[in-house]
Structures are given as structure tokens and as C-alpha cells.
Amino acid sequence: MMPSTKADSNSRPWQRYIPLGLILIGLLLVILFGARTVISYIRIQRTSLQPGVTDVEAIRGWMTVPYIAQAYGVPAEFIFTQIDIPATDNQTKSLSQLNRTYASGQPGVMLSKVKAAITQYQVAHPTPRGTPGSLP
């Protein structure tokens, strides 16, 4: 083995900066994805349904019928009956997925039907003030 000479160590001075560069890139990635995670968390907190929500405009395509039913205090069976699809095998599908399957790809059909079903149920079954699902 040949001893290293001063010429060998000076021939590639940039090599000692590689670990520093990789550490900086790693830190930038952690900061970038950490910020994206925080922003996503905040966005989910703002758009998810809170107990007692009655405004059907808060319903989104990513929501499932059982999720909506619980948030609005409406039986899931009622919603499935109103939108004319079977509850079996559709409990875990989002409104967007149900729309693709049962609405022949026409955008927003299931969302509109669910909003109409919720509104119909709220009119037929008004809740007393101060209970979940009622307006303040």
C-alpha cells in the first residue's frame, strides 16, 4: 500500500464537502415535508365535519356515507335508500367512488343526492336547540 501524498489529498478538495452537502439536502427535505404535513393537518382540521354541523355544503367527495351519517345525525340506511344504492359493500367507499360506480361517471351526482337526502331528513326530523345537529 502506498502512503498518501500531499498531492493526492489536494487533488479532490470538493470531496470533503459531500457529507456536508448531503446533510443539508436531508435537512431541506425534512423541513419541506414537515411543512407539508403541518399544512395538510391544518387543512384537514378546517374541512372535516365537526359534531353538530348542519350545513350540507360542508360535505365533500372524500367522505363516506357512514361518516356523513354520524356527523349529521342521520341514519346511514336512510341515506343509502335515498341515493338508491345498496349499503352492503359500499360502507367504506367515498362519495367519489360511489359516483364512479353508480352515476356513470357524471360528476357530482352522488354528492348532490346525499346533500338532498340530508336536507330532506333535517326538514322531516328537526332537532331541538342545543343538541348535536341543531343550529345555534
Range of the domain at 60: 56-124
User: Would 2 be classed as within a structural domain?
Assistant: no
24-54 pLDDT per residue, tens: 999 999 999 999 999 988 887 776 555 555 7
CA distances from residue 18 to 23, 30, 38, 46, 54 in whole angstroms, order as listed: 9, 18, 30, 42, 57
Looking at the fold, whether 74 and 104 belong to one and the same domain comes out as: yes
User: Would 81 be classed as within a structural domain?
Assistant: yes
**Could you give the CA distance from residue 20 to residue 36 in angstroms, rounded to a whole number?**
24
Query: What is the predicted pLDDT for the residue at 135?
Result: 43
Considering the entire predicted model, what is its pTM? 0.57
**Could you give the CA distance from residue 75 to residue 82 in angstroms, rounded to a whole number?**
11
